[in-house]
Structure 1
């Protein structure tokens, strides 16, 4: 039996060394991509119950890119609740797909939109508020709300908005544009004052306006007043009904502010149901949940006085009748209280005075990957819109439990497809390198010189490991120092944090490699130019560059096919390879100028440690682990401390925008190693990694601070 097993393994291993075997391997990998993407599509559409389609519309002289989710068979006679979803900084709308899918599974119309300048949305010169970019502008969220108002099947009285992080600030900016701090009674007091010339004392403005109208207006004026009241009722009924801010509590939207009623300056709160979702371990600007529950700002918003806000509790706030903050009332726990069982909750929601505070056990960038956070969002809109696969008041409605979620499996399948893509590119490279045209790119692979006990290898590895740990910790603590952009490098500052880490590690690699050369002198066993074939003929170099671009195009075309067939792409969490606007291909080249040298140096380091007394597979695994270990170790230590409740529930070093490194570093390290094995040179791996990582950046990140489509030079060349 032993001999048969060995023979099978031998024949199996030999199969993939042949041209036919390589094609079979490529076919198998492509099949994995197709099957995983198909199943992902089934999940994202709830097995055909939801229509999911990408849409593009122009509202401000620039295209907004979004995904629209509607129930299967929807028509103009339907009146369905709808929700606009906004992503945060440094990402695009695809990261919020899980939240969108779970709402859509429950019959909501959902518009998941990329902000102006994010992903495939174009930059707008000015946005809805008349400003460009910034922290407190809607960046397309309000335009998305206005788009929903053009859809006949959307119930205009039940539109909600939710957004994560920067998206939380954008939705509140949109709510300010759309909503009102005036109640219906306030509006009618103003009508009596402004239209009918009535004067009021400060106490009188809190009296029922209808009663005052009957007392003060003539019989001829009352019909006019009633008509104006009807118009005010209609106006208020179609204002945004629910606003849930995810991962950010820095906005002032929910806070009381001064307005004018009946000629007097008074304090009012926004006429909208709303609240915050702040993770227990949130390391964003807002800080962890425990910090916000006790903050004076949120206590004022929730009207709890000197008492901390209680998680998962519905509150009913009350209108101000003086400058003193009124006291809210607790209605009940969100998981135990429903609009069907509590008239108080139903009344609070109808009066737009319901508030809630969610605190899922997750960190900032986990909010859109967390089933717990997603179930909180679903529960909020289920209650504020009184809907879950039908009207909650309809006895025939069978709601889907808000804690029932499947989006994470879809996300995992997209991640499997992305990993399979990398393997497919490696297989395709091997096939193309066997062709007559690209065979010149296959140079002699230098014999390994390191051994398991080689001191230079372990010393270099230890130095780079230590420096990499410092680098990821430093950028995690100083990320906001990279808040700068330019038309040439136009992506928002979040990408600068990742690039800074790559540059720091590359600089350390350069210093260590130079020191090794100086110390070893002519005795150095590894000669960089020869060992890694850095020096080669121009024709070979050009063909290597062409091959890497062909591989990138193959990857992009495969993504386009997946988009066309299944409306899926390559992604997991914050690592995304998706569609791009044409000008972003030029933006890739500009960022490639910075990223290319970092992958050139990392390619040397990754392949420096090839060992003659270790199998190729084990050695590849060792070097890939060494490449990504610093990031993983710092993340585990930083967040492990946080999860233990130490350091005030915050990590030692925040990863917020750098989680993508946990995915990109091992993948690019593996590519670098395999391409060197195929070609005997680090160039192919360097070029391909540069193309893939800049694709990640330019397809999914944002340039929301700048207006780039005003002329040819800024749009295509980043000049001006």
Structure 2
């Protein structure tokens, strides 16, 4: 208990250092004020956003302003690199949760374009701020955040006064043609730039009339679409063979206004752009050229990586708290009865147990990989996942991962049953002593410990967000505060996650806990790696093929490999948490419930809510 107390204190210190450090970076050591806004927009919906106001932006000296947006299935914190660098250069920055995302209102399936999915509503707010120069408002978004920017252009065109002066699209195609298919300058006199990933999983392809891809993303610059964009909407036949290049700013006088177009083409993938120093540098250069930075700083001078370091520390602290908090609670009168350490692990010996141990892991990994690809090709599931058909499922992406998890949980149960009947029962395995049958009292008592832990560790997240406006994250893995409605969303998918994480905890602890090479930690490391093996192999296969051929594996959509990035880490970490808690309690269900609840909350607070 003394050692656990030490690590509990270390985790709390790390969490505090994480919040203070991240706050110092995003506020430029106090030179930028950060506000968490929630307001009713012109579309009649509630929107949530982070507002960054440099101290140099005043009513007497209004500053250029930029609205930044995340992509589909993400939230405002995914723009961290951009808002940190723009704010420290003197821009007023608003990082939004698009409708349906984060803590903004859900998005109706039949109104995806409403208010530019929230982006144009955010522009209207910015234009009313007294310290914002309403003649210098820019917008930028990644992926579907860029689509929101495209949605905002016709809304701005239809307004009595145009507010958007500058547009930077990131990893999403510009508007090339009008409703009749003719090439057009849809952006008018606005400055427009594009950051394009040469290995983009979704965009920048040219297609035949039959829908067959003709060019890969890495060949985008030579396509008629790209050249028309750089020639301000001119038809390819009218360009007269002039091929414009990436990285060069092209200008043209339109209705007496000098406008610019530029494409930055980068050899990276779609999700990597959100954490690419090269992409951030181009973003800084573009807005400096277009709007003029109030506090010019060289684009290579970037500090957002320091914030990423601090928020990653918080993520590590969160993982440690998942172990140390429940173990500390075992010392309290409320949960002391659960403190029954598991029996020491025995050596893995005998041919049959070894076959079941190694073979079971390989079979489980195979089932995991095959079931994931199979599920990604099932039309009814895809209809729900991508909100293409009305359903009771509010978050299609979370439902997909939870359903896949449940399939693998059921498979694990069958493998365990086979192992028990084949050798464990004959070898004297006791289901009660191993914790498979802990008794109803211990079972429900363990659930109480798990739920208390969830409340306690998220209390740390909520308090630090309230004080410092920061969360715990690293790239695509984020633990953040959430609004009350997320609890209901988590309960919706919790049963599916429970099937997997409970079965996984029982398998790891009651059936596969051995010493290997005389060390139990080797066994834990092997099982943690096995948990993540299938997702890791699928990701490596997908991007190896993509790098060589320029296209994805046929039949394996890009979004499905992207969703596996956080899964790889989560499955390994939950295996370690499971083992640590089992050793302290001999009860595999505590970690099963804890992991399921945490993963459900993390998932629903970082995705999209669609209503019908």
Instruction: Please say whether Structure 1 and Structure 2 have the same fold, judged by a TM-score greater than 0.5.
Output: yes
Describe how 1:447-458 pairs up with structure 2 within 5 A: 447-449=344-346, 451=348, 454-458=354-358
Select which of 144, 161, 170 maps to 1:246: 170
Deviates more, 1:287-296 or 1:50-59: 287-296
1:26-70, CA deviations, whole angstroms, 9 ceiling, x for partnerless residues? 112211111122112112222222222211111133310101111
CA distance in 2, matches of 1:277, 1:345: 17
Deviation (angstroms), 1:619 = 2.2
Deviation (angstroms), 1:450 = 5.3
Select which of 332, 338, 345 maps to 1:441: 338
CA distance in 2, matches of 1:81, 1:584: 35
Whether the 8 Å CA contact 2:176–2:225 is kept in 1: the answer is no
Deviation (angstroms), 1:275 = 3.3
Residue 463 in 1 paired to residue 380 in 2? no
Whether the 8 Å CA contact 1:532–1:604 is kept in 2: the answer is no
1:330-353, CA deviations, whole angstroms, 9 ceiling, x for partnerless residues? 888747x7xxxxxx7486798364
Which consecutive unaligned segments of at least 5 residues does structure 1 have? Answer: 1-18, 181-231, 260-264, 304-316, 338-343, 391-398, 708-720
Describe how 1:48-63 pairs up with structure 2 within 5 A: 48-59=30-41, 60-63=43-46
Which consecutive unaligned segments of at least 5 residues does structure 2 have? Answer: 206-215
Select which of 375, 381, 398 maps to 2:287: 381
Distance 1:588 1:521, change over 3 A: same
Describe how 1:500-539 pairs up with structure 2 within 5 A: 500-520=403-423, 522-523=425-426, 526=429, 529-539=431-441
Whether the 8 Å CA contact 2:199–2:270 is kept in 1: the answer is yes
Distance 1:282 1:552, change over 3 A: same
CA distance in 1, matches of 2:538, 2:28: 38
Whether the 8 Å CA contact 2:28–2:88 is kept in 1: the answer is yes
Whether the 8 Å CA contact 1:89–1:494 is kept in 2: the answer is no
Q: Match of 2:212?
A: none
Deviation (angstroms), 1:572 = 1.6
Whether the 8 Å CA contact 1:364–1:656 is kept in 2: the answer is no
CA distance in 2, matches of 1:602, 1:124: 35
Q: Match of 1:173?
A: 151
CA distance in 2, matches of 1:269, 1:490: 34
Whether the 8 Å CA contact 1:450–1:609 is kept in 2: the answer is no
Distance 1:318 1:673, change over 3 A: closer
Q: Match of 2:112?
A: 133
Q: Match of 2:50?
A: 67
Deviation (angstroms), 1:142 = 0.8
CA distance in 2, matches of 1:633, 1:82: 43
CA distance in 2, matches of 1:403, 1:266: 36
Residue 547 in 1 paired to residue 529 in 2? no
Q: Match of 2:130?
A: 152
1:242 match: secondary structure: strand
CA distance in 2, matches of 1:473, 1:408: 34
1:646 match: secondary structure: helix
CA distance in 1, matches of 2:140, 2:60: 26
2:267 match: secondary structure: coil
Whether the 8 Å CA contact 1:273–1:349 is kept in 2: the answer is no
Describe how 1:179-194 pairs up with structure 2 within 5 A: 179=157
CA distance in 2, matches of 1:409, 1:35: 12
Residue 678 in 1 paired to residue 595 in 2? no
CA distance in 1, matches of 2:38, 2:567: 30
Deviation (angstroms), 1:540 = 2.5
1:159 match: secondary structure: strand
Deviation (angstroms), 1:656 = 2.2
CA distance in 2, matches of 1:510, 1:689: 17
1:582-639, CA deviations, whole angstroms, 9 ceiling, x for partnerless residues? 1221221121111111111111232232114532322222221221233223323432
CA distance in 2, matches of 1:158, 1:660: 37
1:55-89, CA deviations, whole angstroms, 9 ceiling, x for partnerless residues? 11111333101011111253211221111112111
Residue 296 in 1 paired to residue 234 in 2? no
2:164 match: secondary structure: coil
Select which of 301, 312, 334 maps to 1:415: 312
Residue 47 in 1 paired to residue 47 in 2? no
Describe how 1:158-237 pairs up with structure 2 within 5 A: 158-179=136-157
Deviation (angstroms), 1:113 = 0.3
1:158 match: secondary structure: strand
CA distance in 1, matches of 2:260, 2:187: 11
CA distance in 1, matches of 2:390, 2:596: 21
1:360 match: secondary structure: strand
Distance 1:81 1:540, change over 3 A: same
Q: Match of 2:210?
A: none
Whether the 8 Å CA contact 1:258–1:267 is kept in 2: the answer is no
Distance 1:457 1:257, change over 3 A: closer
- The answer to which structure has the higher strand fraction is 2
Residue 561 in 1 paired to residue 463 in 2? yes
The alignment's TM-score, normalised by the length of structure 2, stands at 0.87
Deviation (angstroms), 1:122 = 1.3
CA distance in 1, matches of 2:153, 2:349: 62
CA distance in 1, matches of 2:467, 2:563: 31
1:48 match: secondary structure: coil
Residue 369 in 1 paired to residue 275 in 2? yes
Q: Match of 1:24?
A: 6
Select which of 182, 192, 195 maps to 1:274: 192
1:65 match: secondary structure: strand
Q: Rg: which structure is higher?
A: 1
Whether the 8 Å CA contact 2:4–2:328 is kept in 1: the answer is yes
Residue-pair matches, total = 587
CA distance in 1, matches of 2:241, 2:53: 37
Describe how 1:313-332 pairs up with structure 2 within 5 A: 317=232, 325=238
Please report the RMSD computed on the Cα atoms of aligned residues, expressed in angstroms.
Answer: 3.1
Describe how 1:572-591 pairs up with structure 2 within 5 A: 572-591=474-493
Whether the 8 Å CA contact 2:167–2:192 is kept in 1: the answer is yes
Distance 1:660 1:21, change over 3 A: closer
Whether the 8 Å CA contact 2:393–2:399 is kept in 1: the answer is no
Q: Match of 1:713?
A: none
1:653-697, CA deviations, whole angstroms, 9 ceiling, x for partnerless residues? 532233211221122111111111111111110111111111111
Residue 76 in 1 paired to residue 50 in 2? no
CA distance in 2, matches of 1:292, 1:677: 55
Residue 639 in 1 paired to residue 543 in 2? yes
CA distance in 1, matches of 2:66, 2:349: 58
Distance 1:586 1:283, change over 3 A: same
